[in-house]
Amino acid sequence: MGMLEEMAVSFDPEQLIAEFEVMTKDAERVQRETLKKILDENGATEYLQKWGLDGRTDPDSFRTCIPLVTHEDLDHFIKRIVEGDNSPILTGKPITTISLSSGTTRGMPKFVPFNDELMESTIQIYKTSYSFRNREFPVGNGKCLQFIYGSKQFKTKGGLAAGTATTNVYRNPLFKKTMKAMQTPCCSPDEVIFGPDFQQSLYCHLLCGLILREEVQVISSTFAHSIVYAFRTFEQYWEELCTDIREGVLSSRVSVPSIRTAVSKLLEPNPELADTIYNKCKGLSNWYGLIPELFPNTRYIYGIMTGSMEPYIKKLRHYAGELPLFSADYGSSEGWIGANVNPNLPPELATFAVLPNIGYFEFIPLRPCLDGLKQENCTSLPGETKPVGLTEVKVGEEYEVVVTTFAGLYRYRLGDVVKVKGFHNSTPELQFICRRNLLLTINIDKNTEKDLQLAVEAASKVLAEDKLEVVDFTSGVDSSTEPGHYVIFWEVSGDASDDILEQCCNCLDKSFFDAGYISSRKVKAIGALELRIVKRGTFHEILDHYVGLGAAVSQFKTPRCVGPYNSTVLQILCNNVVKSYFSTAF
């Protein structure tokens, strides 16, 4: 049995926690050893030779010789790998699989190398957070209703397997073994997870979960958006689902033969179950507490709820009733970073303890906050951008994450901003703040995804007065007017009055607290903010567009800003605008 397989099948949560404690007590040494291992394995690569590392493996030489890079800097190396050049370019062992990152931030997926070591760290992270979670909320011999979706895998020109990172993970036999070891295998058969039609897969995930409703102990997805999306869909199709269960015949909506065959096998007429579900749904007010009603033995809900997923927490809580929500771990297609080992923190406050043996980590300090509130807008300290090591970070400070991985990325800027909230032994616990890049900027104003999120949060309180909610949102800059202005697109759950939407628009404009924005608005260097309301279903159309491009629903993050680089999305939005309002707040 290979090392990987051994890891997956033998699994004792308490032993794993003990190992985690030992490792994190000695994070600095583990980091040195991890760097040495990475550089020993890959010292002969073209990339490391090019920078003259000459076989040295210590942190000082590494940091002196190797430059900080972004994905763009590595594009041409990765391109050669994708095209089939299997000489040691970035890694000693040839790369055989490529991950497509969700790419929703820049409008198109990007390629990153994937290998066994990344798979190994994925499993290690899953097991670590599971072990801590399981101490508080043990699950056993149940099922997990997982809203996960594989995307198509294809071969690159050079013959490498390519797919999204989550697909590479779900397809891996070890992932399934790990789920089994955690005693919560997925409710749905593989044909559903890997089905070619996302809507049909989603319908069947719901159906498979309902059939096994008493056994479901955990409800999860990679990103929380997928869970919220699934239950919004349930609201639409619940009667049809009940009919399928009553009659034991799968709806004609599911037309993909492989999915039909696999799911039909699980269905048999069960009028009693159909009645139970039907009556439970009828008894709910506005779907509050839907999840525990449908799945009475659910212990918790699990998925990434931080960062761009935060706006969905409120809706998730509504569906979850009293059930606990646990935010999942922190990572990216490029590599994993930290595990959530404090499951009791509410998802908004989730932190991630960095695993010091899965990569070598550095942190670029960001400018200390000037007004106490707007750290996320900070830029690097001039002349002091020198990154610090994992154990040198300071509590309360914000940093940009830099990773060196076993899969050929060296001193790679991930573009994420994190804040150090504390330490678990000697490894830091990070809070995810936002993506580094600015979303909205016209002149001296600087607003990030987080700023947008906070403004939308404030304005949606006004909308709540009409008992309505923001289903999803994005933004853009309209520079066709003089001066340019911010445009916020909202999909709203029902018909709001003009009066309320005007108030929402003013509130949005007033809720960007960035001094650059406020002063520019005052002197009319930025025009009045515009709120455009789009038709119901518009964001669904956007998701479909990305899925069509090869993105995985499991990794989908609504782009929070649309610009010329994703003009199709902009077009979808503009075609669906039903009303628009201009702020009169300044």
Nearest of 439, 443, 462, 460 to residue 451 by alpha carbon: 439
Output the smallest distance, CB 306 to ligand AMP, in A.
3
Under a CB-based contact definition with an 8 Å cutoff, are residues 393 and 405 in contact?
no
Output the smallest distance, CB 430 to ligand AMP, in A.
9
Distance (Å, whole) CA 65 – CA 386: 14
Output the smallest distance, CB 542 to ligand AMP, in A.
16
For ligand AMP, the nearest residue by Cβ is 307
Based on CB atoms, which residue is closest to ligand AMP, 327 or 506? 327
Given CA atoms 257, 259, 261, 267 in this order, what sign does their dihedral have? negative
List, in sequence order, every residue forming a beta bridge with 475; answer none if it has no partner: 488
Output the smallest distance, CB 419 to ligand AMP, in A.
12
Output the smallest distance, CB 61 to ligand AMP, in A.
28
Output the smallest distance, CB 350 to ligand AMP, in A.
7
**C-beta atoms surrounding 524 within 10 Å:** 10
Based on CB atoms, which residue is closest to ligand AMP, 102 or 427? 102
Distance (Å) of CA 321 to CA 231, 291, 310:
13, 7, 17
Based on CB atoms, which residue is closest to ligand AMP, 168 or 555? 555
Collapse the DSSP code of 29 into the 3-class scheme (helix H, G, I; strand E, B; otherwise coil) and give the result: helix
Residue with tokens 């707007």: 374
Based on CB atoms, which residue is closest to ligand AMP, 11 or 330? 330
CA angle 189, 192, 197 (to 5 degrees): 170
Binding positions for ligand AMP, rule: CB under 6 A: 101-102, 165, 304, 306-307, 330-333, 414, 416, 432, 435, 555
Output the smallest distance, CB 222 to ligand AMP, in A.
9
List, in sequence order, every residue forming a beta bridge with 218; answer none if it has no partner: 144, 300
Which residues, other chains included, contact 257 with Cβ-Cβ below 8 Å and sequence gap of 6+? Answer: none
Distance (Å, whole) CA 36 – CA 55: 10
Based on CB atoms, which residue is closest to ligand AMP, 115 or 555? 555
Longest CA–CA separation in the chain, Å: 71
Output the smallest distance, CB 552 to ligand AMP, in A.
8
Output the smallest distance, CB 101 to ligand AMP, in A.
3
Distance (Å, whole) CA 41 – CA 39: 5
Based on CB atoms, which residue is closest to ligand AMP, 62 or 302? 302
Report the residue count for the chain: 586
Based on CB atoms, which residue is closest to ligand AMP, 99 or 520? 99
Based on CB atoms, which residue is closest to ligand AMP, 449 or 530? 449
Output the smallest distance, CB 363 to ligand AMP, in A.
14
Amino acid code (one letter) for 243:
T
CB crowding 4-29: b at 16 or more within 10 Å, else e: beebbeebebeebbeebeebbebbee
Paired tokens of 275: 């009645």
Based on CB atoms, which residue is closest to ligand AMP, 124 or 306? 306
Based on CB atoms, which residue is closest to ligand AMP, 226 or 503? 226
CB crowding 236-253: b at 16 or more within 10 Å, else e: ebbeebbebbbeeebbee
Based on CB atoms, which residue is closest to ligand AMP, 177 or 225? 225
Output the smallest distance, CB 361 to ligand AMP, in A.
14
Q: What is the DSSP string of 34-70?
A: HHHHHHHHHTTSHHHHHTT-TT--SHHHHHHHSPPB-
Collapse the DSSP code of 352 into the 3-class scheme (helix H, G, I; strand E, B; otherwise coil) and give the result: strand
